[in-house]
A and B are shown apart, each in its own frame.
Chain A
């Protein structure tokens, strides 16, 4: 993991995490606070100027990191957890249960996630928590398939057979042997899960699907786009888009550095 891109990735992610945690300290204004000073150019009091309703863009950018990472980590944890539970249990229990789970997993991999969320969001205004759950429910399947395949191969190995011959139960096997052995794989699944969620959150907010109480980079870009004929894009659209892109690039670099440790077949994991 000592490669340069991986280091760069870690630094970027660290900066974003610090920004998200210390947002109220870093941001000079309340990101929601509107004022009559709309569409101001950058100045000392407003580092990146103000938007169409007079909100401080820099403060919004800082708080946007919070939303992005909250959704990212939330979905990452939940999706990896679901993928591990279903992938490992399918491999260990086998039989009809395994066939049903894997068939469902395959089916969900081919369903386009964004379209499902657009439909759901049209009826239910999702708050941030529901948004996280929804994204996780629709995106754990790709990871589960790879975890399942790896769990199967570990199950065949001698150390598991040895543990079994000493009378280890399935739950004990899963928890003490298989899951720890899958560690690095789960890490990659987690990182790509975060990346996908950060991207999805921004994209959907750009389409107008977001929690109105949270500041989102996608929403900021959507607002900025409607003023693209003014020079405001230089301090409104660009910094926001770059913050979002950097976060995703950072995660990609970290993921790519961890990936070859495990399995080249993993390249399929980042899809959908």
Chain B
């Protein structure tokens, strides 16, 4: 079962995120309403609306009452209003979230599978030329920031060869439907996903390779070999399967990193996900959006971590004992 220790961890993390989001704008010198809504929004505001907002945020009340009002609003799904987009923050953020999820999800699945396969092949041939080349190559790749990989892909495949679109997630005003639309989405997704996958491949690879090397020394591998099993069965069914577990346990942490990477990569390809939204909001000083984004992305990463931890305690019974041990 999921331990109490873990739940406390996530409660603390969530509390920190809420507190930061609440305190930061209110600690700024000057009018807190300006810090919450941004200069431009306030210029266009009528005095009535202003006093209404002061009341809604309980800005004339003591700080703990303000925090109460803030948390209450959150639980009602009110993340504020963006005067830049002229829409509620929640709907702006949720409108962009699917693109990021598509990007991050695809990249995470691809990099994990590819990392595992390469790790198994590399660990199987430990010390050989192939293994050493792969190790050096992937460690070098590991040093390339995802946004730089993205730019290089963009210039090669987008600008020079023109095989893939340069920006966006859809061809605007194309009016495509059915399979043509799906194909269009895939075409736009290709380069950003490739950038993220390449940049995040090495984590799964290194982990699988190292585990593979230890697993290959186990007696049951010798037994399987003695039984006369084929190379493929030995490699993937016996050694490979057992080398995958640590990768699963790390996926949660990687998910956080891939989300971060997606923020950068989306900017390179002007991909309309939450990362690009964050950039647009920063440029426009659209504080409500930045705050809402912070909350949604942080909570999403926490949720992914939580789910992964939950899944591997059921997947690998040994983990349960370890987490009880300290």
Contact = CB atoms under 8 A, between A and B. Distances in A.
Interface in A133-149: none
A249 B139 contact: yes
Contacts of A114: 260, 263
Interface string B180-198: 0000000000000000000
A48 B200 CA distance: 30
A118 interface: yes
A271 B247 CA distance: 13
A120 interface: yes
A125 B285 CA distance: 12
B210 A5 contact: no
Contacts of B20: 116, 119-120
A123 B12 contact: no
B10 interface: yes
B21 interface: yes
Nearest to B140: A249
A236 to B, nearest CB: 11
A30 interface: no
B34 to A, nearest CB: 11
Given A119-B291, A206-B147, A272-B253, A112 B297 contact: yes
Interface in B139-158: 139-140, 142-145, 147-148, 151-152, 154-155
B146 to A, nearest CB: 8
Contacts of A116: 20, 294, 298
A188 B175 CA distance: 54
A161 interface: no
A115 interface: yes
A119 B147 contact: no
Contacts of B250: 268, 271
A26 interface: no
A235 to B, nearest CB: 13
Interface stretch (A16-24, A164-172, A239-247): A239-247
Nearest to A237: B151
A256 B139 contact: yes
B290 interface: yes
Nearest to A203: B264
A97 to B, nearest CB: 15
Contacts of A228: 151, 154-155, 159
A106 interface: yes
B279 A208 contact: yes
A112 B260 contact: yes
B9 A122 contact: no
Given A120-B24, A267-B206, A203 B145 contact: yes
B81 to A, nearest CB: 17
A207 B264 contact: yes
A110 interface: yes
B25 A123 contact: yes
A81 B84 CA distance: 43
Contacts of B283: 208
A106 B290 CA distance: 25
A110 B257 contact: no
Nearest to A255: B139
A79 interface: no
Contacts of A41: none
Nearest to A240: B148
Contacts of A253: 139
18 contacts: A107-B13, A110-B10, A111-B301, A111-B302, A112-B297, A115-B260, A118-B278, A118-B282, A119-B20, A119-B290, A119-B294, A199-B145, A202-B145, A221-B151, A241-B145, A244-B145, A247-B143, A268-B250
Given A110-B10, A221-B151, A228-B155, 13 more contacts: A5-B139, A104-B12, A108-B13, A111-B17, A114-B260, A116-B294, A123-B24, A123-B287, A241-B148, A252-B139, A271-B203, A271-B254, A272-B256
| A-B complex: 9 closest residue pairs judged by Cβ atoms | A249-B143, A107-B12, A248-B143, A241-B148, A107-B13, A106-B9, A119-B294, A114-B260, A245-B144
Interface of A: 5, 103-104, 106-116, 118-123, 199, 202-203, 206-209, 221, 225, 228-229, 233, 237-238, 241, 244-253, 256, 264, 267-268, 271-272
